[in-house]
């Protein structure tokens, strides 16, 4: 207010009419009341700022507690996850070891089966070789027997040809004799017929 009175006096000293100086002072007073902050306003603002600071500090503390709780929970979850991962690794290692043992057992069994199969194959080869030898021997025997039978058959055929030739010679001789006898008989019959004919004619 002292500043307004000083402003009023200064305006009057420079020959500003009193009503106009009063108007300027009133306008300044209104502006100071409406626009400019007073000490009480600043104090209230300071209290509001302090309250906001305390609230923000409390919120930050709560947020820090929440973050710490989240960190502890995450740390606990990570620890549990690490334990589960270690357990899974141990289980996987055990399963891999069992699988390796199974594979080794399967390899040994397959090796034993292959060895037995090889032995069976060798035995089959020996048996086939022996059977082949026996079959060759039987085939050679059959060939020899067939050759002997063929030779006997040839001899029988030659004997049959010789016998047939002899029979043909005998048949030819017999036919010749029979034909000769028939000719003699025919000539005799013819001669007798002629004789009887002549006798009949003479009578």
Residue-wise pLDDT for 44-98, tens only, equals: 877 887 887 888 788 888 988 998 999 999 999 999 999 999 999 999 999 999 9
pLDDT tops 80 at residue 136: yes
**If pLDDT is split at 50, 70 and 90, which confidence band does 194 have?**
confident
Strands (E), 26-167: none
93 lies in some domain = yes
32 lies in some domain = no
**If pLDDT is split at 50, 70 and 90, which confidence band does 202 have?**
confident
Using alpha carbons only, how large is the chain's radius of gyration in Å? 77
Distance from C-alpha of 200 to C-alpha of 203, rounded to nearest angstrom: 5
Predicted local confidence at residue 178, as pLDDT: 87
**If pLDDT is split at 50, 70 and 90, which confidence band does 35 have?**
low
61: containing domain: 37-159+161-191
Predicted local confidence at residue 137, as pLDDT: 92
Distance from C-alpha of 85 to C-alpha of 91, rounded to nearest angstrom: 10
Helix (H, G, I), strand (E, B) or coil at 203: coil
130 lies in some domain = yes
> Residues near 12 by Cβ (< 8 Å), separated by ≥ 6?
18, 21
125 lies in some domain = yes
Question: For 78, which DSSP code?
Answer: H
2 lies in some domain = no
């Amino acid at each position: 207010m002292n500043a307004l009175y000083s402003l009023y006096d200064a305006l009057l000293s420079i020959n500003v009419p009193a009503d106009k100086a009063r108007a300027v002072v009133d306008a300044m007073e209104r502006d100071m009341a409406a626009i400019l902050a007073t000490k009480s306003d600043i104090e209230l603002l300071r209290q509001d700022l302090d309250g906001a600071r305390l609230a923000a500090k409390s919120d930050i503390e709560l947020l820090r507690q929440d973050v710490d709780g989240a960190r502890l929970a995450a740390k606990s979850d990570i620890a549990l996850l690490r334990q589960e991962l270690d357990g899974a690794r141990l289980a996987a290692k055990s399963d891999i070891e069992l699988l390796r043992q199974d594979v080794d057992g399967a390899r040994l069994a397959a090796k034993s089966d292959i060895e037995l199969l090889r032995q069976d194959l060798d035995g089959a080869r020996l048996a086939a070789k022996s059977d082949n030898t026996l079959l060759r021997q039987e085939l050679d025997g059959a060939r020899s027997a067939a050759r002997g039978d063929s030779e006997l058959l040839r001899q029988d055929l030659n004997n049959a040809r010789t016998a047939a030739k002899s029979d043909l010679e005998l048949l030819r001789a017999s036919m010749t004799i029979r034909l000769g006898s028939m000719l003699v008989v025919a000539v005799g019959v013819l001669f007798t017929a002629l004789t009887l004919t002549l006798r009949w004619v003479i009578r």
